[in-house]
Structures are given as structure tokens and as C-alpha cells.
Structure 1
């Protein structure tokens, strides 16, 4: 073969050297580490639990008003479940709890207040009436082992008020 026609592969550098690749990987690693430090950490368990409770409270209250039914929310130390009120054959109210429990990530303490607050085992602690009223209560959310705290309360008439401390 004629050397003038064939390309000379020994004179061209068509790629990166190993050192250049290592330098690029090191720079990208430092940038990724810096970006991960700049991102906020996951929110506290108390904040996540409070946000979950607020969503459930709002959904069930709206459902009770729009469908003109009585709805409920059963709250305990491990989580909460939605509840539906139905009348049995004797026209007595019977509560059906959802099989799906939404679990708390932190510690939760619930205190029912007023006459709609249920202490019976067969009724949900929070009841939502078709006219917009609900049970009066205070619920406190905290980290396991201390730390950040949050709380929500309702007087039964004005809706839900939440705060962080």
C-alpha cells in the first residue's frame, strides 16, 4: 500500500488520556458533592405528619359538605384512617373504617374536646358534619426523641389552625 494514501494513526490523538478522564471525574464529583450540600435536607417528621393530617382533614371536611354526609377520621398513636358512617338495619349509625392506615413518621398525641369528640372505640375521634362543623380537638406532632414540634387545632366551627414551634 502507498503510505501517502493511508492515514498515519500514530501522529493523531483522537481521544482523551487517562489523566484527563480522571481530572474530569474528580471535578464532577466535587460539583455533585457541593450541590448535595446546597439542597435542603428532608423535612422533619413532625412537619410531614402535620402536612399529611392537614390534607386528610381538608379532604374529609369537603367530602362531608359536598356529599351532605357525616365523615370521620380515626386517629391513634400509630396513624389515622378515614371512616364512613352508615345506618344499619335498625337505623343506628355504624362506622366503617378504611382498611388503609396512613402511618405517622414521628410521635402524635391527640386530644378531643367538646361534645362531638368521641371517646368510644367504635367511632372516629374526629367527625365531620354536612354543615361544615367538626369535632373540636388538639393534635400535637413531634420528632421521635425530641426536636421539632408542630400542632393543629380546631374549635369545631372555624376549620383547622396549624403552627410549628
Structure 2
């Protein structure tokens, strides 16, 4: 037999190169990560209500501990923090905290002075009456409310 070993292939190449396999694996890994993040993310309404609850209770504790008036606005896709200045005017504090879904706020306490934020937290721990509805797309809506000395409740 007179067979020669020829390292060069004759005909069309068969199979995939290592680079092609690595590119496909990288694309699949990226897609799997994006899908996992989308599934693991809580619904917008629940996430927004949880953030609002944490912020509202933190602002209440701050008002009581510092014996100062604090405020909170929820609307326009963000939470804004307020404080009552020494001159008696309300001033925003820090940057707005973004929300993912829609927010509808209804003031229950209509005795709020002009220029005050939607929600006012007193140094005594009392809160002006309010009801906030968080919704986001197909998510179930979450309602948060408070008024007087009761803590903020979300359902």
C-alpha cells in the first residue's frame, strides 16, 4: 500500500472551530444571565412599595430622633425627601429616589399647608393621612397607607 499521510484536508471543512464554539457559548451565557435577571426581579409594584415603606419608616425615625419635621413626596416616578427649614419653608433633601412603576397618591388629611410635601412626618411620630397606590404593568397593585400615630402599612 502506498498511502501518503496528508495533513491537509481535501473537500469542505467538517465541524466547528474552537472560536465558533466559544462565541456561541458566550452568546448563550449572556442570554441566560439576562433571562435569569428578568425572572428574579420582583414585580415593579411590590419593589416600589417595599422601597417606599423602608424610606417612609426611615424618615419617620429621623423626624422623631431629631425632633424635626420631615416630608415625603411620591409621584412622577420618584420619591423626594423634604425637611422643614428654620425659616418655616419646606426644602428638598438629596436626590430623588427612582421608582419602577406608576404611583398615585391621595392625601387623606386635607389640612396640609400650602407648599408642604404630600406626606408630612411630625417630630411626635405622627404622619399626615395618605394613601399611595403602586402599580406596574400586569403586576397586582400594592396600596400603602397611614395617618396619625399608626405606622405605614402596605398591602
Same-fold call, TM > 0.5? yes
Matched, 1:129 2:122: yes
Count residues in correspondence.
140
TM-score, structure 2 as length reference = 0.72
2:136 to 143, 146, 158: 143
Give the Cα separation in 2 of the matches to 1:98 and 1:41.
Answer: 32
- Map 1:12-161; keep pairs closer than 5 Å: 41-88=40-87, 93-115=88-110, 118=112, 120=114, 122-144=115-137, 146-161=138-153
Q: Secondary structure at the match of 1:131?
A: coil
Deviation at 1:149, TM superposition (A): 1.1
User: Which 4+ stretches in 1 moved above 4 angstroms?
Assistant: 36-40
Deviation at 1:119, TM superposition (A): 7.0
Give the Cα separation in 2 of the matches to 1:69 and 1:38.
Answer: 44
Give the Cα separation in 2 of the matches to 1:99 and 1:69.
Answer: 17
Deviation at 1:75, TM superposition (A): 2.2
Give the Cα separation in 2 of the matches to 1:129 and 1:38.
Answer: 43
Residues 77 and 101, structure 2, Cα contact 8 Å, conserved in 1: no
> Gapped runs of 5+ residues in structure 1?
1-20, 26-31
Q: Which range moved further: 36-45 or 63-72?
A: 36-45
Deviation at 1:142, TM superposition (A): 0.5
Q: Secondary structure at the match of 1:118?
A: coil
Compare CA radii of gyration and give the structure with the larger one: 1
Deviation at 1:77, TM superposition (A): 2.8
> Gapped runs of 5+ residues in structure 2?
1-17, 23-28
